[in-house]
Structure formats: C-alpha cells, structure tokens
Amino acid sequence: MEVISNSEQNQVKYAGFWLRFAAYIIDQFVIGVAGLIIAVPIILGIVAFGLNISEIKYSKDFFSQGGLFMIGGIIGMIMLAIIFSIMMKWLYYALMESSKFGGTLGKMAVNIKVVDMEGNRITFGRATGRYFSRIITNMTFFIGYIIAGFTEKKQALHDLIASCLVVQK
C-alpha cells in the first residue's frame, strides 16, 4: 500500500546502500561499546565460576562438591548474556527508529531516517517487525541488504517486509 505520489517521490531522496552501510558500522560500534561495558561483569562472573570449578577434583566426588551446579551456573550466565544481547539490540533499534529522531545514532550521524510508506514516523511495533525481519534478510546470505542498491526505493528485504523506507533528511 503505497501512498507517496510520483510528484512527492521526486522530492524524496532514498538512502542508498553505502549511506545505510555507514550507519550500520556506526551502530555496531555503539552497540559493541555498550555491550562491552555491560558484559564485563558477566565475563568476570564466568571467570570466577571457572576458577571455582578448577578447584574441584574431577572424580566421583565432583557432583557432590557442587561441580554440576557451577557448570549450570556458567551455562546459565552465558544464556543470560545471549538473551540480554538480543534484547539490547532489539530495543536499541526499535526504540530509536520509532522515536522522534526516526533512526539510530548511526542513521542520525549520516542524516537518514526510517519512515513508513507515507513518509511518517514508524510505530514501535513496525520498528520491532523491521528489526526481527532482518533475520530473514540475514538468511539470504546478506543479499537482502544488497538489494537496497537495486530496488526503486532503495529498500532492503526487511524494509519491504515491514513496509518502510529509509530516506535522507
């Protein structure tokens, strides 16, 4: 359902592949730094558990000495870190793209924003759909991103799925 008319289309400048790629690199740096700050305590906790496990002798007494509990703790912390990472990235993208800024810090840095097909700010639900539809885009061995360089409105696969546009401000 496209409402942007041909006369409006001529005024809209769609963000191309390289602008979007630059925004992606900036966003990955921001997410990486934030993730590192948050992950350090988790990593230190895993190391502490690992040191405790190394003190337990691997024998028939391993389980009675709490070895299984410690291994479960390490696995649990790793799973928690993975879940937290997924949630952090989802909220970063969905909240920023549905905000008044219309984009993440990377998109703001290169002066682009995400809008719906009418040129309006997207909702949190649509931003969430756009974020998780990247799973499908990634499953195409990144061809879903590359098609942004070849589609009329420079839409990647996840933009097409979520009915979004990425435009220059």
Q: What is the pLDDT of residues 123-135, one digit of tens each?
A: 999 999 999 999 9
Residue 76 predicted with pLDDT over 90: no
> What's the CA gap between 2 and 15, in Å, rounded?
18
**Inter-residue contact 148 to 129 (CB < 8 Å):** no
Compute the mean pLDDT over every residue in the chain, rounded to the nearest whole number.
86
Q: What is the value of pTM for the model shown?
A: 0.82
DSSP structure class, residue 103: S
> What's the CA gap between 36 and 20, in Å, rounded?
24
For 141, the 3-state DSSP assignment is coil
For 164, the 3-state DSSP assignment is strand
Query: What ranges do the domains of the chain cover?
Result: 6-168
Specify the pLDDT at position 65.
59
Specify the pLDDT at position 1.
47
Q: Report pLDDT digits (tens) over 81-104.
A: 889 889 999 999 999 999 999 999
Residue 156 predicted with pLDDT over 60: yes
User: For 93-99, which contacts have Cβ atoms below 8 Å and span 24 or more sequence positions?
Assistant: 93/27, 93/127, 93/130, 93/131, 94/124, 94/127, 94/128, 94/130, 94/131, 95/124, 95/127, 97/122, 97/127, 97/130, 97/131, 98/122, 98/123, 98/124, 98/126, 98/127
